[in-house]
Amino acid sequence: MDHQSTLALFDRQMRQAAPPETSSTTIEADDRVVRHLGGDQGWNAVLWSGLDEESADEAIAAQIEFFGSREFEWKLYGHDRPADLGDRLRTAGFVPEEQETLMIAAIGDLDLEVTLPDGVRLEPVTDAAGVELLLRAHEDAFGESADWLRPRVLAQLAESPENVRLVVALAGDRPISGARMDLNPGTAFASLWGGGTAPGWRGRGVYRALVAHRARIAAELGYEYLQVDASDQSRPILQRLGFAALTTTTPYQWRPLGR
């Protein structure tokens, strides 16, 4: 896999020409930014920007004005320009969250032969009851509320079920890990999310099995690449599987005063 050309393809397909997440969300683009519009309760974000030193501050102010009272995220990548765009966002009042690594793998290059620990099975999530298991796994793995994720996942299942695959790993009746995959029609990329594993089950191949499970589905559907925004914890596992680190990504959050 050629890293430079793959990153350029990712920028074109997944940022500049990004598909909407569900039927109730929209993508809006002009010559300087691409926005994902999810309404008052959904995910609002700047997905891509083509800025320079002269246009950056004006564009940042314009996005703040555009979104008004809504919270939104500016998804900044390490190769975005100008080089000090992150500093400019902070100056404007955005708050950066934890930096992650954009990792991509050609599915055909991955070793998908993995074995689950004894007593663990993978179950597809297709309804509200399954979503609750997924959220319980998330909360157990990360030690934080997953309430923010519930409406987003339920909307995907209700409005665009063909574009999402959800799976939970169960040890008996206990959900120990949950993972999501967004399918992006018209692109070469399927996007992997989640996969955090409960304490006591880490280091036993559960995360690796969830990646392989989703990779097989993506391959059957004709996707060429898998994309992950990887934490420091998952990055070495993904590297051993065959993923390459292409750049960094940092969500910068804008929250209007009083929210």
Query: What range defines the domain where residue 143 resides?
Result: 107-247
What's the CATH number where 42 sits? 3.40.630
Residue 120 shares a structural domain with residue 141: yes
pLDDT of 41 strictly over 70: no
Q: Report the candidate in 156, 238, 160, 253 with the shortest Cα–Cα distance to residue 192.
A: 238
What's the CATH number where 111 sits? 3.40.630.30
Contacts with 41 (C-beta within 8 Å, 6 or more apart), sequence order: 151
pLDDT of 257 strictly over 80: no
Residue 124 shares a structural domain with residue 202: yes
pLDDT of 90 strictly over 90: yes
8 Å CB contact between 226 and 38: no
Residue 150 shares a structural domain with residue 167: yes
pTM of the full structure: 0.91
Each residue of 103-153: pLDDT tens digit?
A: 999 999 998 888 899 999 999 999 999 999 999 999 999 999 999 899 989
Position 259 in a domain? no
- Could you give the number of structural domains in the chain? 2
Position 29 in a domain? yes
Per mean pLDDT, which range of 38-52, 93-107, 191-205 is the poorest?
38-52
Residue 88 shares a structural domain with residue 50: yes
Position 90 in a domain? yes
In 177-215, which positions are buried (b, 16+ CB within 10 angstroms) versus exposed (e)?
Answer: bbbbbbbbeebbbbbbbbbbbbeebeeebbbbbbbbbbb
In sign, the C-alpha dihedral spanning 201, 250, 219, 175 is: positive
pLDDT of 23 strictly over 90: no
Position 86 in a domain? yes
User: Where do the DSSP E strands lie in the chain?
Assistant: 26-29, 33-37, 45-49, 72-77, 95-96, 100-106, 120-125, 164-171, 174-183, 189-197, 225-230, 244-254
pLDDT of 177 strictly over 80: yes
Q: What is the pLDDT of residue 42?
A: 76
Residue 31 shares a structural domain with residue 63: yes
Residue 196 shares a structural domain with residue 146: yes
Question: What is the rounded CA–CA span in Å between residue 79 and residue 76?
Answer: 9
Question: Beta strands 45-49 and 33-37: pairing type?
Answer: antiparallel
